[in-house]
């Protein structure tokens, strides 16, 4: 039985430097400063804080283990872990943009990332959201001062698939940096750096942590980008991941391949069931033949996660509200990527104008299929949809 390199990283990663007392699990270095025997040693370390243990906000041995694992999984030079996915997105964007620059977002990226980009207007960073997966449309949005493109594939809520190679080629030809939020696919199912993407960001709060008990984020890129970001956005904005959270992340990564396999299988089974249900008008899952980007998804992705959306035939808020309220096993709540199946709709009954503005259908429901037996989830949905 052959194991993939990724599986070996997850199941067997060993950090010899920190394996004291032959402990099977890594130690949690819950310490703010580190002490030095001499002042010269301290002065030397403080001058190269990325390589030395000086202070929690800079470099911590437990956090470093998570960073080494993620860099290896993404096939990148280096990684820095952040206190949340949004801290990672913020650092990645801010290290790529200056006042007067322009940024392109492709399709519907994560809601808070859109809000962050709008906030950056305060620092004279302008943006364009391209509501199309057509590369010609992305090309048309490129301006003289375009410095970065932020994308997700598949996109949040809508699950459209971006042609990553087409985007990175366009970006390279125009001196534009590409950033990809890879939370959906995880490094197991999508490796954006191999497609020429410059910076990968993650919300570790989702599949990487995998247990609904962690908020964290990560940025993976070349040494050049990470070194620069470390001294600026990482240390100065100060949103470094805490050692205990890093330990939870390491523990989550240990079982990532096993969990993703089940999310994939269960997700497809529930998506297929929904696609045949008379109350459902559409299922947005890139692994279904009916998905408009099915072929592209198959080419780019090594697998599918368990997060997708569907649309009710009846678009009224009342219909969404009553359907979600009838669910028993599937829980109502934000976030996704853990054992529990979770469901939400971006339609809150009072935000129709926003939904229209963001090109999100009013009848949309997002479902994160967890690790429970799919038959039980289908039974739950059958009751709620009838
Ligand atoms: C949740 C999420 C984020 C933000 O992550 P936090 O850890 O909640 O800050 C970023 N991108 C995507 C695609 C997400 O789903």
Tens digit of each residue's pLDDT (9 = 90 or more) over 82-106: 999 999 999 999 999 999 999 999 9
Q: How many domains does the chain have?
A: 2
Please tell me whether residue 308 adopts helix, strand or coil conformation.
strand
Buried b / exposed e along 273-311 (16+ C-beta atoms within 10 A): bbbebebbebbbbbbbeebebeebbeebbbbbbbbbbbb
90 lines ligand 1 (CB under 6 A): no
How far apart are the CA of 202 and the centre of ligand 1, in A?
Answer: 7
The finding on whether 92 has its CB within 6 A of some atom of ligand 1 is no
Q: Give the distance (Å) from ligand 1 centre to CA of residue 84.
A: 8
Domain at 91, CATH number: 3.40.640.10
Q: Which two structure tokens, joined as six digits, stand for 192?
A: 């954006």
In short, whether 179's Cβ falls inside 6 Å of ligand 1 is no
The pairing of strands 342-344 and 78-82 is unpaired
Cα 19 to ligand 1 centroid, rounded to whole Å: 32
What is the pLDDT confidence band of residue 1, given thresholds at 50, 70 and 90? Answer: low
* Ligand 1 contact, 84 CB (< 6 A): yes
**Of the candidates 202, 226, 254, which is a domain's last residue?**
254
Confidence of residue 18 (pLDDT cuts 50, 70, 90): confident
Domain boundary residue among 232, 254, 276? 254
Per-residue pLDDT band for 262 (boundaries 50, 70, 90) equals very high
DSSP structure string for 172-239: HHTT-EEEEE-TTTHHHH--GGGGT-SEEEEETTTTTT-SS----EEEEE-HHHHHHHIIIIIHHH--
**Is ligand 1 within 6 A of the CB of residue 152?**
yes
- The verdict on the CB of residue 183 being under 6 Å from ligand 1 is yes
The sign of the torsion formed by the CA atoms of 195, 199, 203, 209 equals: positive
| pLDDT, mean over the chain | 96
Same domain? For 318 and 173 the reply is: no
Same domain assignment for residues 169 and 279: no
**Which of 8-12, 238-242, 249-253 has the lowest average pLDDT?**
8-12
Is residue 304 located within the same domain as residue 263? yes
Task: State the pLDDT at residue 244.
Answer: 98
Is residue 208 very low, low, confident or very high in pLDDT (cuts 50, 70, 90)?
Answer: very high
Whether pTM > 0.75 for this model: the answer is yes
Distance 35 CA to ligand 1 centre (A): 35
214 CB within 6 A, ligand 1? no
Asked if 272 and 152 sit in the same domain, the reply is no
Pocket flag, ligand 1, residue 347 (CB < 6 Å): no
pLDDT of the residue at 314: 84
Strand partners, 364: 311
Ligand 1 centroid – CA 113 distance (Å): 8
Q: Taking 80 as the threshold, does the pLDDT of residue 2 lie above it? A: no
272's CB contacts (< 8 A; 6+ apart) are: 288
Clarify whether residues 107 and 25 are in a common domain: yes
286-301 pLDDT tens trace: 999 999 999 999 999 9
* DSSP helix/strand/coil, 68: helix
The domain that contains 368 carries what CATH number? Answer: 3.90.1150.10
Q: Output the pLDDT for position 14.
A: 84
Q: Are 233 and 263 in the same domain?
A: no
Q: What distance in angstroms lies between residue 112's CA and the mean position of ligand 1's atoms?
A: 8
| pLDDT tens string 334-353 | 999 999 999 999 999 999 99
185, 206, 344: which to mutate for ligand 1, most atoms within 8 A of CB? 206
- Structural domain including 32 reads 5-254
Same domain membership, residue 286 and residue 146: no
Q: State the distance from the centre of ligand 1 to the C-alpha of 378, rounded, in angstroms.
A: 27
| pLDDT at residue 41 tops 70 | yes
Residues 348 and 216 placed together within one structural domain of the fold: no
- Say yes or no: 57 and 186 in one domain: yes
Tell me: the pLDDT tens digits for 148-192? 999 999 999 999 999 999 999 999 999 999 999 999 999 999 999
**Residues 38 and 161 placed together within one structural domain of the fold:** yes
Residues 304 and 246 in one domain: no
- In this structure, are 339 and 327 located in the same domain? yes
Check whether 276 has a pLDDT greater than 90.
yes
| pLDDT over threshold 90, residue 315 | no
Listed residues 221, 254, 287: the one ending a domain: 254
Residue 19 pLDDT > 80, yes or no?
A: no
pLDDT of residue 20: 79
């Amino acid at each position: 039985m052959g194991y993939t390199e990724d599986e070996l990283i997850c199941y067997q990663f060993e950090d010899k430097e920190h394996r004291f007392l032959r402990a099977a699990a890594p130690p949690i270095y819950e310490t703010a400063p580190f002490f030095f025997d001499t002042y010269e040693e301290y002065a030397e370390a403080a001058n190269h804080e990325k390589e030395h243990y000086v202070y929690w906000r800079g470099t911590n041995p437990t956090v470093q283990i998570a960073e080494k694992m993620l860099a290896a999984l993404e096939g990148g030079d280096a990684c820095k872990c952040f206190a949340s996915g949004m801290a990672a997105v913020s650092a990645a964007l801010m290290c790529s943009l200056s006042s007067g620059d322009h940024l392109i977002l492709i399709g519907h990226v994560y809601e808070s990332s859109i809000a962050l980009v709008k906030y950056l207007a305060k620092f004279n960073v302008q943006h364009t959201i391209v509501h199309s997966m057509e590369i010609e449309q992305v090309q048309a949005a490129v301006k003289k001062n375009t410095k970065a493109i932020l994308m997700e594939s598949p996109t949040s809520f809508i699950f459209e698939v971006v042609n990553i190679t087409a985007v990175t080629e366009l970006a390279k030809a125009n001196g534009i940096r590409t950033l990809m939020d890879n939370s959906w696919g995880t490094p197991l199912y999508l490796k954006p750096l191999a497609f020429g993407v410059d910076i990968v960001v993650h919300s570790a709060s989702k599949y990487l942590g995998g247990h609904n008990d962690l908020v964290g984020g990560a940025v993976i890129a070349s040494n050049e980008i990470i070194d620069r970001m470390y001294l600026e956005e990482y240390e100065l904005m100060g949103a470094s991941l805490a050692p205990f959270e890093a330990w939870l992340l390491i523990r989550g990564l240990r079982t990532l391949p096993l969990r993703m396999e089940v999310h994939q299988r269960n997700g497809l089974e529930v998506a297929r069931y929904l696609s045949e249900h008379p109350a459902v008008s559409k299922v947005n899952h890139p692994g279904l033949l009916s998905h408009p980007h099915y072929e592209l998804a198959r080419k780019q992705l090594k697998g599918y996660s368990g997060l997708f959306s569907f649309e009710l035939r009846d678009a009224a808020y009342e219909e969404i509200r009553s359907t979600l309220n009838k669910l028993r096993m599937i829980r109502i709540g934000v976030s996704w990527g853990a054992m529990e199946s979770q469901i939400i709709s971006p339609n809150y009954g009072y935000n129709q104008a926003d939904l229209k503005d963001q090109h999100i259908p009013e009848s949309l429901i997002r479902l994160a299929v967890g690790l429970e037996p799919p038959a039980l989830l289908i039974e739950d949905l059958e009751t709620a949809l009838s």
